[in-house]
Homo-oligomer: A and B are copies of this chain.
Amino acid sequence: MQDPPSEVGCALDEIDTPALILDLDAFDRNVAKMASYAAFAGVGLRAHAKTHKSSAVARRQIAAGAVGQCVQKVGEAEALVSGGIRDVLVSNQVVAATKLDRLAALASQAQIGLCFDDPEQVIAASRAASRAGVVINGLVEIDVGMARCGVPPGRAGADLAKRIADAPGLRFEGLQAYHGRAQHLPAAPEREAAIRGAIRAVQQTQEALAAAGLSASTVSGAGTGTFRIEAESGVYTELQAGSYAFMDLEYAGISGPDGTPFAEFEHSLFVLSAVISVAGAGWCVVDAGLKSFSGEKGPPRVHGREGYEFLGMSDEHGKIAMLDTADPPRLGDKVMLIPGHCDPTINLHDWYVGVRSGVVHELWRIDARGASR
């Protein structure tokens, strides 16, 4: 793990670069907005820690009203439980016995949920929970249109729920019904249509559950791009949004309901870089590249400097063009960049540098960085 790039009390300009910057005022507003929206809609906010990878962020989301966290990996759950989080759902399938034993060990300290889409996973998790003498809450993942994990809605979901309900060490809790592909569909009506389909898939599965004498006390899903639709469906009980706390260019690129840019949340996450070369004719080079932000959703965008356009990046270089009208860059100038995709960008860094009014107020460890197992 790298040392923090700054100390508390430093000015923004004194932070070593590249550094992952969190604008704490914007972050607080995003966290409060989603929490109060969930309270208003009468659903739980189970914020997704795959995005933030940090028990420090999780604690703030929970302090603001979140009911718990979800994760994709057992290693993320371990980091959160170790950081004091007491309600974690693994919104994913886990197969390996060694991983299930690690997860079962957490269930003696925290409420732990796990998703299933195959009877074999149920048998393996039941064994691990029984060995550890704990109970794991089981959710049936149904494929609500994402075509990734999940059983088909309806009867198949009820059949698997029955196996969970009957398995020692497991308790059937409900349905995982996340539609990831819907989150970034560019137009709001497309997102709405996709989630309407997800809602029907949940309802169809609930009917099959009722016929089998079961019911889902939890229906978990939704993300930053669609959370209002799930929340107001009367069917979902939990929201799994993660990016809302930070925003990124991918979410900034979708449209809101009236066709204007999606503006539910503010950009709170940046990479601070520094100009290391001004030798080029019409461009400068900063010290942040593919090892400071993930590039699969395109390059970052320059924030707060008129006439600067990010052109491209290599491992440790970012190339930025300047319009003729732009202030010329000087060596050492700091440049704030908005990442294309927040989740894998955060996973590159070891620290959030939390800034308020241009001064470093907090240093939060990204304690689940790299926790992919």
Contact = CB atoms under 8 A, between A and B. Distances in A.
B294 A290 contact: yes
Interface of A: 1-2, 5, 16-19, 50, 72-73, 75, 92-96, 98-99, 117-118, 120-121, 143, 147-151, 180, 274-280, 283, 285, 287-288, 290-292, 294-296, 314-317, 319, 331-332, 341, 343-344, 347-350, 370-373
Given A2-B371, A148-B317, A95 B347 contact: no
A276 B93 contact: yes
B94 A276 contact: yes
A277 B93 contact: yes
Given A296-B295, A296-B296, A314-B148, A370 B1 contact: yes
A143 B285 CA distance: 13
A151 to B, nearest CB: 5
B344 A290 contact: yes
Copies of the protein in its oligomer? 2
A327 B50 CA distance: 32
B291 A372 contact: yes
A138 to B, nearest CB: 15
A285 B149 CA distance: 7
B350 A316 contact: no
Contacts of A292: 372
A315 B72 contact: yes
Closest 6 CB pairs of A and B: A295-B296, A72-B316, A117-B279, A149-B277, A93-B276, A290-B344
A268 to B, nearest CB: 19
B294 A343 contact: no
Contact of A99 (B16, B275, B280): B16
A170 B2 CA distance: 29
Contacts of A148: 277, 280, 285, 314, 317, 319
A249 to B, nearest CB: 14
Nearest to A314: B180
A147 B280 contact: yes
